[in-house]
């Protein structure tokens, strides 16, 4: 059965956007999930559904009908995991290149979620629904590196709040086409859905969100540059879109890069190298890094000769 909640807005919360207000209530919703339920008409005042842009006022009596979590249909699979850190609230996992994070059409098995279900059982957070248990953020199939998995809703909500205010530290390394003009730079360009290809993202002013990527050149080679990239925001395909926007797409990127494949490289040369965050329960700042994988170091060696 769906859960029905009722809230009365107090003076100190006056003026907050509805999605923000709802995510701050003690019912285990992230802001993105609050937005989803608002869009579906689940949040009302005086029996009338509200928009997420509504600003709450003192004395408002709001009702929210939250659907009962669906039973998970994704099956556990005994796939080895490279666990960098683990405690009772979370895991930090080093994802290999080629592994999809969560099930989607065409990829219902062999995903990180399948592996997590076998390893953690039913101890993963349920905030992101039946297909993405425990998944706080994700990286692309052909991107390797670190990501965080929440074991409970408390940890998930606290970690998602950090992502919302851009306080996560997320550092990547990539090899990109061409030679960047400056050794250091920042790309501050909004990202939204591509206007004609709905499977792609693009730098666009229409229906977009601000996206900021900082880069630093680590080494230069003939036709390629090795760069470190730090995310200030975390939009879908952000690094890939921003580097392509600069005219320096990630080497091996089949979507945003040149149509001609890079010899000996399958998928993009992009690795989530470092992640840092405040632990949701202890308040301590934690930071973890992972070595560059073999595919990445082998490509760098090829470029040196």
Share of residues in the chain with pLDDT > 90 (%): 62
Phi then psi for residue 243, to 5 deg, are -70, -40
Q: How many Å apart are CA 141 and CA 101, to the nearest integer?
A: 7
pLDDT in tens, 29-48: 778 788 889 999 999 999 89
User: Residue 225 class from Cβ within 10 Å (0-12 exposed, 13-18 middle, 19+ buried)?
Assistant: buried
Second-level CATH architecture of 3-66: Roll (3.10)
Assess whether the region 3-66 and the region 70-163 belong to the same CATH fold: no
Q: Is the pLDDT of residue 66 over 90?
A: no
pLDDT in tens, 219-228: 999 999 999 9
The pLDDT assigned to 128 comes to: 66
The pLDDT assigned to 69 comes to: 59
pLDDT in tens, 182-215: 999 999 999 998 988 878 999 999 888 899 999 9
Query: How far is the CA of 75 from the CAs of 102, 215, 287, in angstroms?
Result: 12, 39, 31
- Looking at the domain 70-163, which fold is it? Pseudouridine synthase (3.30.2350)
Catalytic residues: 140
Closest CA to 24 of 44, 36, 9: 9
> Where are the chain's structural domains?
3-66, 70-163, 169-272+295-303
Alpha-helical regions (H) of 109-195? 112-120, 153-164
- Looking at the domain 169-272+295-303, which fold is it? Pseudouridine synthase (3.30.2350)
Tell me what the pLDDT averaged over the chain comes to. Answer: 90
pLDDT (average), residues 173-180 = 97
What does pTM read for this prediction?
Answer: 0.77
């Amino acid at each position: 059965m769906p859960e029905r909640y009722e809230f009365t807005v107090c003076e100190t919360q006056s003026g907050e956007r509805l999605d923000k207000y709802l995510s701050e209530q003690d019912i285990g919703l992230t802001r993105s999930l609050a937005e989803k339920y608002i869009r579906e008409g689940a949040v009302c005042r005086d029996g009338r559904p509200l928009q997420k842009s509504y600003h709450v006022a003192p004395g408002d009596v709001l009702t929210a009908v939250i659907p009962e979590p669906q039973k998970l249909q994704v099956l556990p699979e005994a796939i080895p995991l490279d666990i960098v850190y683990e405690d009772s609230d979370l895991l930090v996992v080093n994802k290999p290149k080629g592994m999809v994070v969560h099930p989607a059409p065409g990829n219902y098995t062999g995903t990180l979620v399948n592996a997590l279900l076998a390893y953690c059982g039913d101890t993963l957070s349920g905030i992101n629904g039946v297909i993405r248990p425990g998944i706080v953020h994700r990286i692309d199939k052909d991107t390797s590196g670190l990501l965080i998995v929440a074991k409970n809703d408390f940890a998930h909500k606290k970690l998602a709040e950090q992502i919302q205010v851009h306080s996560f530290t997320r550092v990547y390394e990539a090899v990109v086409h061409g030679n960047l003009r400056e050794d250091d730079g920042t790309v501050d360009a909004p990202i939204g859905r591509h206007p004609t290809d709905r499977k792609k993202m693009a730098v666009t002013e229409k229906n977009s969100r601000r996206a900021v990527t900082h880069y630093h050149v680590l080494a230069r080679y003939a036709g390629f540059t090795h760069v470190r990239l730090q995310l200030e925001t975390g939009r879908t395909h952000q690094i890939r879109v921003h580097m392509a926007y600069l005219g320096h797409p990630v080497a091996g990127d089949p979507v945003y890069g040149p149509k001609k494949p890079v010899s000996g490289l399958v998928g993009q040369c992009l690795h989530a190298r470092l992640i840092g965050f405040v632990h949701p329960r202890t308040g301590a700042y934690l930071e973890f890094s992972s070595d560059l994988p073999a595919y990445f170091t082998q490509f760098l060696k090829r470029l040196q000769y």
